[in-house]
Chains A and B, each alone.
Chain A
Amino acid sequence: MKLLTLNFLTCARRTCKSSPLSFPLHPCDAELEIADVDFSLDFLRNILPRLEWDAMVALCSELSLPLSATVPAAAELSGAGDEPTQSAKDLHHLLLETNITAGKLVCGNCGHEYAIKEGIANFLLPAHMV
């Protein structure tokens, strides 16, 4: 599971949706892996304004990964001739090439744990929580 995806995931329980604590989910016992992905400046430009940056910062600090506390401006992504800058490449590496292959995701509101196995998270709720 890419770190980018975590910026879109919340607790699946309806009762948690209204609580600010249900986002972002907190990784626990996470095993990280790097997998190459072709760089796309179009995608970074498109997705950057849609990210919840504070959640991204919180996630990175929990995983002990470096990330600037302020959102990079769109202009910082490319230099002369539309060449991607180092900060664009770093962001790409963090969002799209860094994966959680195993571990759990924990809701900060209800404490429910969602398992990640082989990079695929399972958000099916047990019957007593639906």
Chain B
Amino acid sequence: MKDYLVRLVQVHDTFRVPELEALAEMAGVELEVVKYANDSPYCTIRLPSTAAASALISRSILGSAIYELWGSGTTYDDLHDSVKSRTQELWLLYKSVSFRFSVDTFQGKRSTSAQREIIESFSYVGFDGPIKMNNPEEEFVVFEEYGFRAPDPHKFYFGRLIATSARDVVQKYDLKKRRYISTTSMDSELALITANLVLAAPGKLFYDPFVGTGSFPIATAHFGAKALGSDLDGRSIRGTKDRNVLSNFEQYGLNGSWVDGFVADLTNVPLRIGKGRWLDGVVCDPPYGVREGLKVLGKEGVGTEPVYVDGILAHLEGYIPPKRAYSFEAMLGDILDFATATLVDRGRLAMWMPTANDEDIDLAIPSHPCLKLVSVCVQPFNKWSRRLLIYRRIPDSKVDGEAAAVRKKRVVGCGLKADDLNAFRKKYFQGFKEQNPNLEDGGGEK
């Protein structure tokens, strides 16, 4: 195992390590995170080989490049000592190749002359090859990390470039350039990260039950996977004649990756359940009522008679069935049950959810005995935040049978109908009492 330095981008910080771990799993390499901090773009990891490092970074969205770590320190003297003791025997390998040196600063700046001075302080490595600014055979980088508004750097690294990432694709899939989007289309960067976290790869099949304009299937398709999608609102899939989900795939030359879209509701999902599991992943951003109301089929005081229009069963012609409000928690439970019933062993579920509902009540991370929570990533906004939950399907042989039986009973028992709509509130008051046992003594508070 050798040490490598990953140059991360300083956005979506809590997504970065989960992405590295997912990339390692896909590349089939062992990964050990040696040093990582949410406020730093420099992450030290341990990998079996340079080939593993290249494979790992090739699909990364949140890493920009990976370097063979030659040294690190808290001062330049430290750094030079570290480089001399770790890499002396490597210097000869690069003695006559063309090369380039550069300085990468985080939250700091160096003038060109200061950079030159820094670079020249490494002259002891004795590289005699030609210096090429474009396409050199080897590239060496000095990294300086500054604290926020600090005048001087507090951490230094030196590394040899192994490979750069695929981060440029974020621009390719930018929503501003996509022909068909809606108000709730997932930002291309986050959709691509989500696709990495569910291990999208050639040959795999994914499903998005809230497909909208197809942001997730497009991201999984970029990595070679195929996808099915459904939505309660058929208009979002159909779009217009030349702007619809399929046209988005055509825009990126990914036509074959879109298997099908259909109009359906997750609570009455028309997909095969219980015959053998068949999905590699479920990816979704369920509507949680901030921008899109939460609805499922049905209406209060359910109608019992078929509706006819001009003597024809109305549901066969453009009839729009009534929908009712639905509890977000119940929907999350339905998604977990669905994923359990359809995901192959080690298949993954990616689910976006807000950390609190519109009444500012924290939402618990839902759990299922057949699904292992792999990572929780948080995207903060100004007044709220949402998180991306990643689960892995546990093989049946390793599931806690008792817990699974309890779960089954729960689903049957309360039926997950819209009656649970008040669960947030109920829970809130229960939690409130537990956290503040003295409140009742305080009196007068209601």
Contact = CB atoms under 8 A, between A and B. Distances in A.
B238 A120 contact: yes
B302 interface: yes
A124 B302 contact: no
A16 to B, nearest CB: 10
Interface of A: 1-2, 4-5, 7-14, 17, 23, 37-38, 40, 42-43, 45-47, 50, 52, 96, 104, 113-115, 118-128, 130
B294 to A, nearest CB: 16
B306 A126 contact: yes
Nearest to A8: B272
B256 A2 contact: no
B270 A10 contact: yes
B261 interface: yes
Contact of A2 (B259, B297, B315): B259
A123 B261 CA distance: 11
A8 B238 contact: no
A128 B271 contact: no
Contacts of B228: 5, 8
A123 B321 contact: no
26 contacts: A2-B260, A5-B228, A5-B262, A9-B270, A12-B269, A17-B274, A23-B275, A38-B255, A42-B224, A45-B203, A46-B205, A46-B280, A47-B205, A52-B275, A104-B316, A115-B315, A120-B261, A122-B234, A124-B315, A125-B315, A125-B321, A126-B303, A126-B313, A127-B307, A128-B306, A130-B302
A113 B316 contact: yes
Given A23-B275, A52-B276, A46 B262 contact: no
A4 to B, nearest CB: 6
B127 interface: no
B237 A120 contact: yes
B263 interface: yes
Q: Which 7 A-B pairs have the closest CB atoms?
A: A42-B203, A50-B278, A12-B270, A37-B256, A123-B264, A127-B303, A123-B270
A17 B205 contact: no
A37 B205 CA distance: 15
Interface of B: 202-205, 224, 226, 228, 230, 232, 234, 237-238, 255-256, 259-265, 268-278, 280, 297-299, 302-307, 313-317, 319-322, 344
A115 B270 CA distance: 13
B322 A127 contact: yes
Contacts of A9: 262, 270-272
A128 B268 contact: no
B272 A122 contact: no
Contacts of B278: 8, 47, 50
A10 B232 CA distance: 17
Given A43-B226, A113-B316, A124 B264 contact: yes
Contacts of A47: 203, 205, 278
B268 A126 contact: no
Given A127-B321, A130-B297, A122 B302 contact: no
A5 B297 contact: no
Nearest to B265: A124
A42 to B, nearest CB: 3
Most B CB atoms within 10 A — which of A43, A114, A124?
A124
Contacts of A115: 315-317
A124 B263 contact: yes
B252 to A, nearest CB: 13
Contacts of A124: 232, 234, 263-265, 297, 315, 320-321
